Amino acid sequence: MARTKKIKSAARFGARYGKKIRHLVAEIESSSRAKHVCPQCKARRLKRVAAGIWECRKCGTKVAGGAYAPSTTAGKILMKVERLAKISEAEKVKEELVDLLEKKAEE
């Protein structure tokens, strides 16, 4: 029997498809089967139920995410943009309030 230490779960492919592809498959499978941090309760109990569906084994929260990881790069970028938009909106509101207070102080 062949040694499977290096390619782990991709050993089922045998000598087919090439080393690089088998290595990538093994890496993706190990990361998708691992437990991830739940965004709701922050416990390391988030498991993949199906492609893009993740469920926390502790609090029962279901989250839509990537096929092999609970959060994708695009999702992280969108979250950052939303957060920055909220900050800039809050700054605009703060400036308007300061202007109103200054006008009332002048009166």
Residues 6+ apart with CB under 8 A from 5: none
The per-residue pLDDT for 92 is 87
Contact in structure between 84 and 93 (CB atoms under 8 Å): no
If asked whether residues 45 and 60 sit together in one domain, one would say yes
If asked whether residues 28 and 48 sit together in one domain, one would say no
Edge-to-edge order in the sheet of strand 53-56: 46-50, 53-56, 62-64
Which residue has tokens 């703060």? 94
If asked whether residues 86 and 105 sit together in one domain, one would say yes
Dihedral sign for Cα 16, 50, 65, 74, please: positive
State the pTM of this model.
Answer: 0.66
If asked whether residues 29 and 42 sit together in one domain, one would say no
If asked whether residues 41 and 64 sit together in one domain, one would say yes
If asked whether residues 17 and 45 sit together in one domain, one would say no
If asked whether residues 29 and 40 sit together in one domain, one would say no
- Which domain covers residue 96, as residue numbers? 72-107
The per-residue pLDDT for 45 is 95
What CATH number did the domain enclosing 48 receive?
2.20.25.30
The per-residue pLDDT for 1 is 52
User: Degrees (nearest 5) of the Cα angle 90, 94, 96?
Assistant: 120
The per-residue pLDDT for 38 is 93
Domain tally for the chain? 3
Q: Where are the alpha helices (DSSP H) in the chain?
A: 19-33, 73-106
If asked whether residues 76 and 107 sit together in one domain, one would say yes
pLDDT tens track, the chain, 107 positions: 556 677 888 989 988 999 999 999 999 999 999 999 999 999 999 999 999 999 999 999 999 999 999 989 998 899 899 999 999 898 888 888 888 888 888 87
The per-residue pLDDT for 4 is 66
